[in-house]
Structure 1
């Protein structure tokens, strides 16, 4: 099975040529940003491990990716959430349904008070979103793929862009790439992102590009849906509605008509679009 070496495609969006690293095409179940972060746990020997425990939201891309990892490794998967909406319990869709189908045991508890602080030796605990040092194992492979491509195609003045949640992927890409890595904060603000960087590495951080408007993670914005549809129409590529929509708005604002070449890292997470699209259709009068 192929979990690395995603293709790089040149697209034209709003009359600008941009390269896209198609990490959405890594593998139908284990792809995108999270597959890179969790690759360490896929490839290394964990002979005594029987279970993975993590936490976050009930439609998290990381949750689904971890459920795929555990299914591949034949591990149990226990996942803690603050709340599961009743409509989702009645009609599971998206990442939630996919993770349940993969055998996830989901536990609804008040996260700050009730997540266990100690685990058995046969259990791996993974922080929300995969913000951990082991993530650099797979992200270095991603960096090496980008470096090989840049040499083959004789790229000059290249900048690498991707949107950030915890910022782990952008941080480790900057560690292993000779190019400037640009990002924007999708969860919290730039100060939150800087704190996340510092938890893992004190130096050599990516460049954070600011947006004038404050966006709240998981909230619906018409401009997110509009740029998502424009990308589909102009490139025939489906992008993630949570991270990539803000990412492309940021590209439009800061990087449009720049002299250097841009490599955009596709975030994967397309299963999550099922639930996001339902929400957008409902809010904006069933926009197609």
Structure 2
């Protein structure tokens, strides 16, 4: 498997024509922006490495993708979390359940600061320089598609967690990359950019409302439902719902929009299994 060359589809969402780069379709197991970020570790040789250590939340998309990577490479995978909710332990679902199936060893404690020579540490969310390798390939796919269709006025949009994907896409693309902060605020996202690259940052679109990552919002559920009904594509609750809200606000604010919009579908829909359960519990009567 090459895990590249995902298809691009045209959709119409709330009367806006948008192209969608379907990185969620790269592979059944290894897909989305995490597959792009971790592609370097799949394609390069690490003769001394037998173990991967990472950390984050117990339903992280990166956690699941790393479990797939380690399964493909035959590496042991140790993942460290601050806390695992009791309901997740009692009834495993989503990324947590599937990562355990892939052989992940999860530890409810702080990750070790000292690692042996056979262990490689991968930072939370895949915010690392090596992510450039796979994201440059993604950028080249976008450039080729734009050239074939003579789209010179293209704008690329994707919601951001660490912002790594948006940052490196902007580095390799001749088109403007637009994004919005999903984890933390705009200042947090700018700091994440600066930690990796000091210049040539994507354009951060402002949100009209402050959102707390992982919290349930009725407009997220409604946007997710509208997207599925209008496009027949399942998007992620945590990132894509907010992403389309911000993108729609942006498009509605333009007096004359002659640009083509390419939205990057970054996968993560495995996490929807646990999210929809939470939404049904919170909005049982409405949902």
Tell me what 1:162 maps to: 158
Q: Pairwise mapping of residues 1-288 of structure 1 onto structure 2 (< 5 A)?
A: 1-109=1-109, 114-256=110-252, 258-285=257-284, 287-288=286-287
Q: Distance in 2 between matches of 1:2 and 1:175?
A: 23
SS of equivalent residue, structure 2 residue 225: helix
Contact 1:61-1:95 at 8 Å conserved across structures: yes
Q: Distance in 1 between matches of 2:35 and 2:212?
A: 25
Q: Distance in 1 between matches of 2:114 and 2:209?
A: 40
The count of corresponding residues between Structure 1 and Structure 2 is 284
Q: What is the Cα deviation at residue 286 of structure 1? A: 5.5
Contact 1:2-1:27 at 8 Å conserved across structures: no
Q: TM-score, normalised by structure 1?
A: 0.97
SS of equivalent residue, structure 1 residue 279: helix
Q: What is the Cα deviation at residue 87 of structure 1? A: 1.2
C-alpha RMSD of matched pairs (Å): 1.0
Q: 1:76 to 1:286 in 2, by over 3 A?
A: farther
Q: Distance in 1 between matches of 2:157 and 2:86?
A: 37
Q: What is the Cα deviation at residue 168 of structure 1? A: 0.3
Q: What is the Cα deviation at residue 2 of structure 1? A: 4.0
Contact 1:280-1:287 at 8 Å conserved across structures: no
Give the unaligned 5+ runs of structure 2: none
Q: Distance in 1 between matches of 2:39 and 2:205?
A: 28
Q: TM-score, normalised by structure 2?
A: 0.97
List structure 1 runs of 4+ shifted beyond 3 angstroms: none
SS of equivalent residue, structure 1 residue 220: coil
Q: Distance in 2 between matches of 1:37 and 1:286?
A: 40
